[in-house]
Every structure is written in C-alpha cells, then in structure tokens.
Chains A and B, each alone.
Chain A
Amino acid sequence: MSDGQRSPTRDGQIVVSGLTKVYRNVRAVDNLSFTVEPGRVTGFLGPNGAGKTTTLRMLLNLVTPTAGEATVGGRRYADLTDPLRHVGAVLEASSAHKGRTGLNHLRVICAAAGLPKRRADEALALVGLTPAAKRKFKGYSLGMKQRLGIAAAMLGDPRVLILDEPANGLDPEGIRWMRGFLKSLAQQGRTVLVSSHLLSEMQLLADDVVIIAAGQLVRQGPVDQVIGSMAQGVRVRVRTPQADVLTAALKAESVTVATDEHGTLLIGGVDAPTVGRAALTAGVELHELTTERPDLERVFLELTAGKADIR
C-alpha cells in the first residue's frame, strides 16, 4: 500500500472530514476533521459554543453542512438503510411528547424504523425504566428522561452510539450507571462518541478524546497521550516555612519553581523523592510534599485558553 493511500473505513468507524457550518457570520464548525474508532469510548470535548452539538447534528443529517462530510462506517447517515440498526443517538433529554408514556414513545420509534414492538420493552428493561413504562413523560425526572433517551438509542441494537451531554441532570448514582453502561458497550466492540464538558467524568470514562474550540480541532488522541503531550508535566507541591532555603537547595537540579498565592511551592522537572532528599540535606522543615499529575481538566483549559470567547 502506498503512503498516500488512506486505510479503508472500518465498520463502525466515524470519519469527519472538513466539516464546516456557517450560520450567518459565525463559523460554528470550521473545517473540522477527526476519526472515532470502534471498541473505545471517545470523549468529544469543547467549551460551550465550541460547535460540539452542531457537529453531532451534522453527523446525523439533522443539520446540513456548509461544506465537508461525515460518515459512519463509510456511509453518510442519510444513506444508511435502517439507520437505527447502525447508529443510536441521544441528543436531548426532553425530546418526547409530554402526554405520551415512555413505552409508547419507544413504540412510535419502533413503528417508524420497522423494528418489532418487543424491542421497546427490552430497551426499557435495559435502562431500568420498566417500572415507569406506563407513566407519562411529563412525570419523568431528568434522570429518567436521559435513560429513556438511551433506551430509544438502543432500540435497533446499533454498532455506533452517539450521545450529547448524557450526564446532564443525572445524580451521582446515575452518572456511575452511565459510565459503566457506556464502557460495557465499548467493550462489546461498539463505537461510543460522547460529548461533554464534565472533564473529571470524561477522564474516568473516555479512552480517546477529541478536543475542539471555536469550531476547530485542538487535539485528538488517547487520553493518556493528550495529557502527556502537555509541556507542563508532573509537578511537586511543597509547603514549607523555609521556602527560600529549599529553592536555593534545588538550584543544582534543573527545576522550575513557582509560588502560588498561599506561598506554596510548585516545583516542576523533578520528582518528589528528589525534593524530599534535598530538603533533608538542607535541613528544611516540610509541611506538605505531594506529586501533582496533570489531569484532563488542566490540559483542556490550557489547550482551549483564549479560544472559548463568545463568538
């Protein structure tokens, strides 16, 4: 295979290439390209207004792109026969008729997609909503609405799951359930693309991340790699009444020392044992010695700094 040739699109792979959406004067999504692999949970991250929802909606043929293309398993969503058997999507929690029961909401979708009626019962059971099957949607809590949305997405037993802010409105128990559920789907070999702005949750959930800001791709890759790629690596946090002495003692090592507003030292380029040894040798009294690893939140904020302005 020659170098320039692209590998053929795999089943269940999402490919976004050159996707652009212009609303009046705003480039909501600007020449965005990335891929999402099956068998992994991919976090789709970006500040509010970065274009996450618009991108997902273009991927699902709900919004027409100004330019570019998005495909699932090599085909555009509009070209899929039986789309619900390939792709399940959860876009907003409040999308059911308020006077309709949860079960009937799912049955309506089954009818439209040509799926058997029993799938509605099975999907409700899958998300643990069976007791509320005959209750009207307006009586559902936010968490129940999210679960109903997931049930709707699972009706066709799809290979690809796309979720827009699924953790919104969930309580801690609901969030943990969602995390386990999505991870198990990915383990079954399905593609899971989840947009969110809850970064700590994403660090627990995602294998890969796609970070966008102002409609453009900022970074894509496995979570560890993205975090590791940041210049600011591991830092050591030290509290001591003799900051000057310790700083001088560490001069020998090639370190960066910063001080926060409480006088705590943040030392980069060195590990905690080295700092401890230097302190012992210099006879410096230590009140705290902690290793601080960069997390997704810190990386995200650094990557998107200044790009999150209201456009």
Chain B
Amino acid sequence: MNLVRSELLKIRTTSTWWWLGIGALLSIALAFVFNAWVVNETLSGNGESLGVTGEQATPAAQAANLYTSGQYLGLMFVMLIGILMVTNEFFHQTATTTFLATPRRTSVILGKLVAASLLGFAFWLVTTVIDLAAGALFLSLNDHGTLLGEWTVHRALLFNLLAYAIWTVLGVGIGTLITNQLGAVITAAVLYLIGTQVVGLLFLLLANWLDTMSVIKWQVIWPAAASQIMISGGESEMTPAWWVGALVLVGYALLSGVAGVLITRRRDIS
C-alpha cells in the first residue's frame, strides 16, 4: 500500500525514530539490570523484602518480567512516535503536501495507523530479541534455566506485542486530537508517567473512603493501568482479568482512531 510505504519513508528519512530508539534501548538496559536484580533476590528467597510475593514470585513470572524489560518506557516511546507521525505534519506544515497527494483523508489516517502498528511491531521485535538473548544468558548463568518453555513467558511476550501495536495507534489518535506538537508530546508523556501514579493514588483513596478494595479494579479504565493488567495477567481482588485490560486498551485505540479520522476529515488545512 502506497500510503503505508510513504508513512514509513517519512519516519525513516528523519532522525526522530533514531532518538526514540536510543531512548528505548537505554530504558531496556536500565530496566533489565533492575529486573535481573529482582529475579536474583526473589529466587533466592528474598522476595518478601521487595514486596514480590505469591504468583509474582514464581520463577516463570519473574522470567516473564525479565524478558519484557524496558516495556514500560518502550510503550511511551512508541506512543510518542505515533504522536509525532501526526503532529509533524502540522508542525512542519507538510499536511498540505500530504493531503494534496491523497485527498481521501480517511486513507491517510488509516495509512498512518497501519504504519504505526508496523513500527510498534519493529520496536517490540528488537526489544524482545535483546531481552531474550540477555535474559536467557542471565538466567542460565544463575542456574535458573531459561524458562523459555513456560506459558507465562510466552503470554507476556505476546501481549507485550499487542501493547506495542496499540500504544503506537493510540499515539496517532492523540496526535490528531492535539495537533500542537509540544502540547501533545508533553501531555501524553506526563499523563503516562505521572498520571498513572496519580490515578493509582486516587483509586487507593477512593477504596479507603468507600472501605472496599474492589473499587481498585476500576483503575483499568486508565490506559496505562489497563496495559499493565493485560500484560501481567493474574486476577486478584484488586486487579481484574487480563482480558478486561485488553478490551479497555483496544477500546481506547479504536476510539482514538475513529476520532482521529472524523476530526481529520473535517479539518480545514491552512
């Protein structure tokens, strides 16, 4: 498809993806070192002191965590790429050129969404290959075995892929809603990094006030929380089932995609 090719070429011919890629690599490195330390502590029986207990303390869950190192910031970086794919058009006034070449604006946005998902996939692939190589090496060297046969590990990797694709799409949606580049990037990054903590705190306060922990489940309406719930799996009193998280996330992606198409169709480009 021509439009997807054009969108991927747009990304390849600027240095943006390069910087975000470096950011993602750095966050992998940092997260991997931290997660490796947690694995070692937990599997040598010190999990309690780190607050890692129950299902999370099993070797499989720990391996899954290690093999998805760097996804927390990685998801933010792919979201930022999605945002930049749209806001760049307005920041550099290339929207005119883009819509002259393709007056069917729905196709343009769909092209961006497909290109964004492909890019999310590429980021996931690179992240996962690095994590698998480093993780398997680390686990074997510490006599835990690679644990690559575990379903928990497989499912974490697969859902991580879904998360990468969805967050890039979400980024495109945000970009169409907030076309101001700086505004969109800052809003999204702040909401992702700080908003998640604030939402968690609010729900904790709400749970205290209502005197029921089950209300914490509703954190899932916040995309970043939904993403965590989807990837980590494991239902409890405070976390809903993984598929609730998946549904919420897919819902946000669809909503922002449709909103993006509708807004872009009506917008005057001047």
Contacts and interface: CB of A to CB of B under 8 A. Distances in A.
A194 to B, nearest CB: 17
B142 interface: no
B87 to A, nearest CB: 12
Interface in A25-76: 53-54, 57, 60-64
B93 A108 contact: no
Given A111-B5, A112-B2, A113-B2, A100 B14 contact: yes
B101 A77 contact: no
B143 interface: no
A175 to B, nearest CB: 23
Contact of A109 (B101, B103, B268, B270): B101
Nearest to A80: B103
Contacts of A105: 13
B140 interface: no
A97 interface: yes
A96 B5 CA distance: 18
A114 B88 contact: no
Contacts of A112: 2-3, 5-6, 98, 101-102
A210 interface: no
A101 B15 CA distance: 11
Contacts of B5: 111-112
A86 to B, nearest CB: 11
Contacts of B96: 62, 91-92, 95
A196 interface: no
Contacts of A84: 100-101
Interface string B98-111: 11111110000000
User: Number of contact residues on A: which range applies?
Assistant: 20 to 34
B97 interface: yes
Contacts of B270: 53-54, 57, 62-63
B268 A64 contact: yes
Contacts of A152: 97
A92 B75 CA distance: 36
Contacts of B93: 92, 94-95
A43 B123 CA distance: 51
Identify which of A63, A94, A114 gathers the most chain B CB atoms within 10 Å of its CB. Answer: A114
B103 A78 contact: yes
A146 to B, nearest CB: 14
A78 B14 contact: no
Contacts of A97: 10, 13-14, 88, 92, 94
Contacts of A101: 13
A53 B92 CA distance: 19
Given A61-B103, A95-B94, A96-B92, 17 more contacts: A53-B270, A57-B269, A62-B96, A62-B268, A62-B269, A77-B103, A78-B104, A80-B103, A83-B103, A92-B96, A96-B97, A97-B10, A107-B13, A108-B13, A112-B2, A113-B101, A114-B2
Interface of B: 2-3, 5-6, 9-10, 13-16, 88, 92-94, 96-104, 266, 268-270
